[in-house]
Amino acid sequence: MDKFYCPKCKKIFEAKGEKKEWQDSIYGYCWKRTTKCPVCGTESDEYRPTGPSTKKSNPKDYPFPKCACGG
């Protein structure tokens, strides 16, 4: 059983999904697993947890490296 995420209900659930295949003009052969949400019936993709956040966008948050010669 795979984990899926419903964008409408915003719920994660386990189910057996179907493999959807298609040919993309840029990426070529593509596929993904989908299934219907048991609550609302919306087609749902596999659950993918979010990656690490990049909240440190301010250059002041990154300290400058110290010089190896003691400077």
Q: Give the pLDDT band (50/70/90) at residue 58.
A: low
Q: Give the pLDDT band (50/70/90) at residue 55.
A: low
Query: Mean pLDDT, to the nearest integer, of 32-49?
Result: 90
Q: Give the pLDDT band (50/70/90) at residue 23.
A: very high
Under 8 Å between Cβ of 49 and 20: no
- Strand spans (E) along the chain: 2-6, 11-15, 18-24, 28-36, 43-46
45 Cβ partners below 8 Å, 6+ apart? 4, 5, 32, 33, 34
- The tokens describing 54, both together, are 């990049």
